[in-house]
Structure 1
Amino acid sequence: MATFEVYGGKPLKGELHPQGAKNEALQIICATLLTAEPVTIKNIPNIRDVNKLIELLQGMGVEVQRHSSSECTFRAKNVDVEYLTTNDFKVKAAAIRGSIMVVGPLLARYGRAYAPKPGGDKIGRRRLDTHFLGFQKLGATFNFDTRENFFTLEGKNMQGAYMLLDEASVTGTANILMAAVLTPGTTTIYNAACEPYLQQLSKMLVSMGAKISGIGSNLLTVEGVESLGGCTHAILPDMIEIGSFIGLAAMTASNITIRNVSYPNLGIIPDSFRRMGIEFEVIGDDIHIPPQEHYEIDTFIDGSILTIADAPWPGLTPDLLSVFLVVATQAKGSVLIHQKMFESRLFFVDKLIDMGAQIILCDPHRATVIGHDRNMKLRPTVMTSPDIRAGVALLIAALSAEGKSVIHNIEQIDRGYENIDGRLNAIGADIRRIE
């Protein structure tokens, strides 16, 4: 288990280039299973979860040609579906949550699929009902072995259908969409997730020959086609990493420019940071955050305490609430952080309280933060990263605290952030990786 030693309290200065979007990459890579033709993907983040998914596809027989650390060509010409019944597949697929998205493409192309109950962050209950209810609407059947935690799916005679998703699940929508593009007939998906990741996946599928209308809305209509061809696709910059860097700059009073952020695809994220009092300038497609000694949290119009809450797109992504919570600890004013989606994602606040933050955990979904306005800096401490997003939030806290902090279990951070220590050290941080 690797560890970060973080020597904080130093302002940073320089440029940061965001990696490709993790959540988009997981969908896009699974989509390569839909065709026997070559698919080239650019701007792939070189992170643990994505690399494990690529290894998983290689085990299934997908040819992967690496052109660089961020560009690969995939060719799923000879997929071995039987490999999915092996223990090797079960162990590897169970380690990453993105593995569940191989099911839709395999059902569509081969009429059957297998999947273990996937792993991922320990942030509370993350049910898969939306995926399987959607497959059932298309005519697939499934069996769940509770002893093996293993799903077996059959879908040799699927037909297009109308469905109203029980929740606007991003991975659920992606999985059903990938199954629908090769399913005969018309499939209508209502209450579909419409995040930029889904828009990107839809545009990629259209470039491969799929017929999808309603892209960018919560109502997708798919006309099934017989086969798809190859394409070249570039992944968007990671909006979660961009938001993390904005929060880092504010917490450490740093002078940071984030390059090529694809600003129109950031949605409400920039305005949410502005409500936290953080000033920044948009220059072309770059975001420049100047050093700020103080930033003041906004209130609602009637003067009541501001609430920052997650919501389906175009609402605020839940993946950034951990960063907003940490940023609030050094702001002037108070804020209620409401994490609606996951009931265990705020439990990392005990580490921040140990560092001197004033936080009241109201319940598993809500925390009130009373900002210090930098009158009292966070104290260094020893902590453990519980998940990807809490991990980077703790790293930001450690970088703002004067002295040496230790963060264990940084493999969680590596799952979502590419060479985060190397990139931040290049602009003045002092982070030491201890293997």
Structure 2
Amino acid sequence: MSSAFEVRGGQRLSGEIIPQGAKNEALQIISAVLLTPEKVVIHNIPDILDVNLMIELLGDMGVKLNRISRSVCEFQADEVDFEYMHSPEFKKKTGKLRGSVMFAGPLLARFGKAFIPKPGGDKIGRRRLDTHIIGFEKLGAKFVYETGDNYFRLESEQLKGAYMLLDEPSVTGTANIVMAAVMAKGTTTIYNAACEPYLQQLCKMLNGMGAKISGVGSNLLTIEGVTYLGGCEHTMLPDMIEIGSFIGLAAMTQSEITIKNAGIQHLGIIPEKFQQLGIQMEFRGDDIYIPSQEQYEIQTFIDGSILTISDHPWPGFTPDLLSIVLVVATQAKGSVLVHQKMFESRLFFVDKLIDMGAQIILCDPHRAAVIGLNRTHELRGITMTSPDIRAGVSLLIAALSAEGKSTIHNIDQIDRGYQYIDERLRNLGADIKRV
């Protein structure tokens, strides 16, 4: 029986909160340790389920681990155990963890062979691996699908640089191809590459190890292959999804919150999108201060038409924050259309918000119109289940602002992405307990 959160809402919160290290960066950065036999030290690791599983899996594969603290770890992949990767245990573990697909690029680059499980993880619609596999094939890898055990086996004598135009700017796809290409023979050019901060961080780390990647931060990457990569030290960025969640939480609960060390220069358009919902904030050094607001009013477009907020590959607005925007809009003054382009079932959690008293019209699996209540009545607490990581936190924010008691089941989904979230919210004055 998995645990649940019991939340009594309606409290105003106050205080400071420090965002964790970026989950999506962690999964790539931690895979990259497989590219060198030398020691790699990583700082600001988030202490969350997906990342801990990933580190444990590296340990099982023979990588030497020294966990100096929960947020700092030394890795040394000088003796990788390939036999283990044929074991049922490896297949079972990797099947549970979508991030494990990120091992393929580095293993292929350094050892000429790799295995990819069919992906598991979130229920947010199909997530294809085509980008990864087509990219590896262009670099000269052959792949065999093992039907018996739902597995892709990849191999290559020597990867060769190639030009490729990705059919979608997939973040994990780009990262995996970059890690494969850094030791390929010749030059690789990736156009329509993802350019998220996570990816910029990965490229920065790889260049620190001796790779030659240029165009970092743009959607055209050029990689000159090198024969060897060495060790390095790397510090991860704060998690921008968490920062966006805290901005939304502050507005929704009329709280005064300071988000410390927010890495503002790496947040792109995120602060601006929350400002469009009428949320005030001040940048103080690298901290974001959000004053307590009685109400916030959604801006319209300049011609007076209703605001639409949609996701788009970086530097556009990240899909991971659309569910937060949607929840926050339920108590705003005004209306907004939330258009989720990239995933087809991320908006299905709105039925829970409607049960809580929100005014939302779900137009189709991709679009929801939110008519803000402007605090004329509070949401009411209910019992609900979290379908995926991001919806889970959105529902948690809704519960914290609602009247009465809410119970949120299936919170393993929340724990996968947010470290000690209940404890950190209690420090701000939230009434939340794990049952």
TM-score in same-fold range (> 0.5): yes
1:314 aligns to 2:337 (yes or no): no
How far 1:157 sits from its partner (Å)?
2.4
1:182 aligns to 2:183 (yes or no): yes
| In structure 2, C-alpha distance between the alignment counterparts of 1:38 and 1:294, rounded to whole Å | 51
Correspondence for 1:277: 278
Does the residue aligned with 2:99 lie in a helix, a strand or coil? helix
Correspondence for 2:344: 343
Counterpart residue type for residue 402 of structure 1? E
Correspondence for 1:380: 381
Counterpart residue type for residue 334 of structure 2? G
Which aligned segments of 4 or more residues in structure 1 are displaced greater than 6 angstroms? none
Counterpart residue type for residue 329 of structure 2? A
1:47 aligns to 2:48 (yes or no): yes
Identity, % of aligned positions: 71
Residues 194 and 215 of structure 1 are in contact (CA less than 8 Å); yes or no, is this contact kept in structure 2? Answer: yes
Correspondence for 1:124: 125
Correspondence for 2:91: 90
- Residues 200-240 of structure 1 show CA distances to partners (whole Å, capped at 9, x for unaligned) of 00000000000111011000000111110000000000000
Counterpart residue type for residue 384 of structure 2? M
- Residues 302-353 of structure 1 show CA distances to partners (whole Å, capped at 9, x for unaligned) of 1111000000000000000000000000000010000000001000001000
How far 1:268 sits from its partner (Å)?
0.1
Correspondence for 2:299: 298
Correspondence for 1:358: 359
| In structure 1, C-alpha distance between the alignment counterparts of 2:70 and 2:393, rounded to whole Å | 22
- Residues 166-213 of structure 1 show CA distances to partners (whole Å, capped at 9, x for unaligned) of 100000000000000011110000000000000000000000000111
Counterpart residue type for residue 115 of structure 1? I
Does the residue aligned with 1:199 lie in a helix, a strand or coil? helix
Does the residue aligned with 1:73 lie in a helix, a strand or coil? strand
How far 1:147 sits from its partner (Å)?
4.3
Counterpart residue type for residue 203 of structure 2? S
How far 1:286 sits from its partner (Å)?
0.3
Correspondence for 1:420: 421
Counterpart residue type for residue 317 of structure 1? T
Correspondence for 1:8: 9
- Residues 327-381 of structure 1 show CA distances to partners (whole Å, capped at 9, x for unaligned) of 0000000100000000010000010000000111111111000000010110100
| In structure 2, C-alpha distance between the alignment counterparts of 1:32 and 1:163, rounded to whole Å | 25
Counterpart residue type for residue 308 of structure 2? T
| In structure 2, C-alpha distance between the alignment counterparts of 1:217 and 1:81, rounded to whole Å | 35
How far 1:158 sits from its partner (Å)?
1.6
| In structure 1, C-alpha distance between the alignment counterparts of 2:342 and 2:148, rounded to whole Å | 28
Correspondence for 2:410: 409
Correspondence for 1:286: 287
| In structure 2, C-alpha distance between the alignment counterparts of 1:47 and 1:164, rounded to whole Å | 34
TM-score by length of 1: 0.99
How far 1:115 sits from its partner (Å)?
1.7
Residues 10 and 404 of structure 2 are in contact (CA less than 8 Å); yes or no, is this contact kept in structure 1? Answer: yes
Residues 84 and 115 of structure 1 are in contact (CA less than 8 Å); yes or no, is this contact kept in structure 2? Answer: no
Alignment RMSD: 0.7
| In structure 1, C-alpha distance between the alignment counterparts of 2:306 and 2:314, rounded to whole Å | 23
Residues 158 and 185 of structure 2 are in contact (CA less than 8 Å); yes or no, is this contact kept in structure 1? Answer: no
Q: Mind listing any 5+ residue stretches in structure 2 that lack a counterpart? A: none
The count of residues paired between Structure 1 and Structure 2 equals: 434
Q: Which shows bigger deviation, 216-225 or 80-89?
A: 80-89
| In structure 2, C-alpha distance between the alignment counterparts of 1:158 and 1:199, rounded to whole Å | 23
Counterpart residue type for residue 315 of structure 1? G
Correspondence for 2:108: 107
Q: Mind listing any 5+ residue stretches in structure 1 that lack a counterpart? A: none
| In structure 2, C-alpha distance between the alignment counterparts of 1:214 and 1:71, rounded to whole Å | 29
Does the residue aligned with 1:220 lie in a helix, a strand or coil? strand
Does the residue aligned with 2:180 lie in a helix, a strand or coil? helix
